[in-house]
Amino acid sequence: MVFRKFKERVFAAGQAAGLEELEIYGTRAKQFNVRVFEGEVDDYRVSLEQGMGLRAKFGGRVGYAYVESLDEDSVQYLVTAAKANAQINESEDEVDFYAGSPDYPRVSCYNEQLAGVSPEERVSFCLELEKAALGADERVFKVNYAITGYEEAEVYIANTKGLEQGFATNGAYSYVSALVRQDGQVKSGSKLLFDKDWSKFDAGKLAQEAVQEAVSLLGASSVSSGGYRILLRRDVARDLLSTFVPVFSAEAVQKGLSLLQGRLGELIASPSLTLVDDPLLENGAATAPFDGEGVAGRRKNVIEAGRLTTYLHNLKTARKDGVESTGNASRPSFKSPVGIAPTNFFIEPGQAGFADLIQALGDGLIIINVQGTHSGANPVSGDFSLGAYGYLVQGGRIVRPVEQLTIAGNFFRLLENVEAVGSDLEFGNPGYRGNVGSPSLIISNLAIAGI
């Protein structure tokens, strides 16, 4: 394996330069992505990407460097740059490099069947996806996105304390977005799927969901401003949870950037809410045997029946708090320093189906989309104010679509105001904030600004 050989040279050069400890984190990824437009493949991408990050200690302090070409120049560059970066580091935090866990869980992150799907099959799936969306309703005039992709990666970690571990992972995704028009009004609807199980990729079903949503929004108008009972559809609940993921990080807590500071063991959410981080979840996009520091993964509840049970830790924050690492050290890429992120992070589903939740909502709004989570939400204060649309519900029935709303509130109040948790847990697009999932949630009150 290419990393193993390169590692020996980096460790030798590093030790010669006086570096006290060295750790290599390497990834090698293959990606495939196809986009179809008007019956033609209009975008087709393939890539092979490899790189290696060095984390090194000098004078007890940590410095980082990375390269993408594994040649002799890169060996010298890594060692020199990481040393210089360690020399300006003034952090007082003690950082441990990890010698390895006694046992690593056996998890399957690599689906052989998925890996065996040919590029041709993926292309025809994508062509079918666009065709199905165009044919799903006569009001569809354009399918602005029909995308399918696949990626696989090898992850490798090794350090001078004796750790050497690796694993392979893969996954496929598909996204379709359709535009419908009626009486001059244009609406869009979309559907995203990320899964390791290729049999879940049903073009007709994905297209139907996207188009039905777009059509259901035709004739939307605003509502008057005020407080409403709200049903957050699963994907919206997930987007909000994903936006506020940093508040659960022990690093944010220790730096005073999380309002969950000092609240361990307290009731911070409705008793109907349990929040789980599970790196061993079967078929999970973020499933992995170990984290970004080589610590073995384990399942834990972060919120249990409304009570905050733990923060997410890596080795550095765990040492500071005098606890064990929760196995949440993250390396979003070989370029990134060790941080903290959840793995498969989700609100445990309840019993009620989506239709039951609408019934239980009675009078209120269903929110099926929020925009602006990267700008209209403040992870420090928990405040959010987001563009939104959805449906007006009266007497337990959907009355009409609504648009041009903003929903405003505070994430921490929202957790307290969860009245019911649905059974429809769904995950989104895994990213540097982990693989986040949620069922639909009823919130007893949120402020809405309309016309």
- Footprint of other proteins on 136-195 (CB under 8 A): 142, 144, 177, 179, 186-188
Q: Which helix (H) or strand (E) holds 273?
A: none
Q: What residues contact 17, with CB distance under 8 A and at least 6 apart?
A: 79, 80, 83
Residue 65 touching other proteins (CB under 8 A): yes
Residue 85 touching other proteins (CB under 8 A): yes
Provide the 3-class DSSP secondary structure of residue 153: strand
- In the chain the first and final C-alpha atoms are separated, in Å, by 62
Query: 380, 374, 450: which is closest to 412 by C-alpha?
Result: 380
Residue 2 touching other proteins (CB under 8 A): no
Closer residue to other proteins (CB): 50 or 325: 50
Distance (Å) of CA 206 to CA 23, 116, 125, 139? 43, 22, 11, 17
Among positions 90, 103, 112, 183, the unique one binding other proteins when judged by CB under 8 A: 90
The window from 44-52, 107-115, 238-246, 430-438 that contacts other proteins (CB under 8 A) reads 44-52
Per-residue contact flags (x/-) with other proteins for residues 206 to 235, judged by CB under 8 A: ----------------x--xx---------
* AA letter at 188: S
DSSP per-residue codes, 214-241: HHHTTT-B---SEEEEEEE-HHHHHHHH
Closer residue to other proteins (CB): 43 or 197: 43
Among positions 20, 321, 383, 416, the unique one binding other proteins when judged by CB under 8 A: 383
Distance of closest approach, residue 101 Cβ to other proteins, in angstroms:
25
- Please write down the long-range contacts of 77-85, taking CB distance under 8 Å and 24 or more positions apart: 78/10, 78/13, 78/14, 78/52, 78/54, 79/10, 79/13, 79/14, 79/17, 79/19, 79/54, 80/17, 82/14, 82/19, 82/54, 82/55, 82/56, 82/58, 83/17, 83/18, 83/19, 83/56, 83/58
Distance of closest approach, residue 335 Cβ to other proteins, in angstroms:
6
Among positions 12, 18, 47, 355, the unique one binding other proteins when judged by CB under 8 A: 47
Among positions 8, 18, 39, 40, the unique one binding other proteins when judged by CB under 8 A: 40
DSSP 60: T
Among positions 79, 107, 114, 386, the unique one binding other proteins when judged by CB under 8 A: 386
Positions in 238-277 near other proteins (CB under 8 A): 255-257, 259
Residue 371 touching other proteins (CB under 8 A): yes
Distance of closest approach, residue 84 Cβ to other proteins, in angstroms:
6
The answer to whether residues 50 and 2 touch, using CB atoms and an 8 Å cutoff, is yes
Distance (Å) of CA 143 to CA 175, 182, 225, 379, 419? 11, 15, 33, 34, 37
The answer to whether residues 314 and 291 touch, using CB atoms and an 8 Å cutoff, is yes
Per-residue contact flags (x/-) with other proteins for residues 399 to 428, judged by CB under 8 A: ----xxxxxxx-------------------
Q: How far apart are CA 442 and CA 162, in angstroms?
A: 50
Closer residue to other proteins (CB): 32 or 346: 32
Positions in 279-298 near other proteins (CB under 8 A): none
The window from 102-110, 305-313, 375-383, 429-437 that contacts other proteins (CB under 8 A) reads 375-383
DSSP per-residue codes, 40-58: EEEEEEEEEEEEEEEEEEE
Q: What share of the chain is helix, strand, coil (3-state, %, to 5)?
A: 25, 40, 35
Among positions 76, 89, 309, 429, the unique one binding other proteins when judged by CB under 8 A: 89
Closer residue to other proteins (CB): 349 or 409: 409
Residue 88 touching other proteins (CB under 8 A): yes
Residue 434 touching other proteins (CB under 8 A): no
Residue 432 touching other proteins (CB under 8 A): no
* AA letter at 263: R
Closer residue to other proteins (CB): 16 or 88: 88
Number of amino acids touching other proteins (CB under 8 A): 76
Closer residue to other proteins (CB): 115 or 408: 408
Closer residue to other proteins (CB): 46 or 355: 46
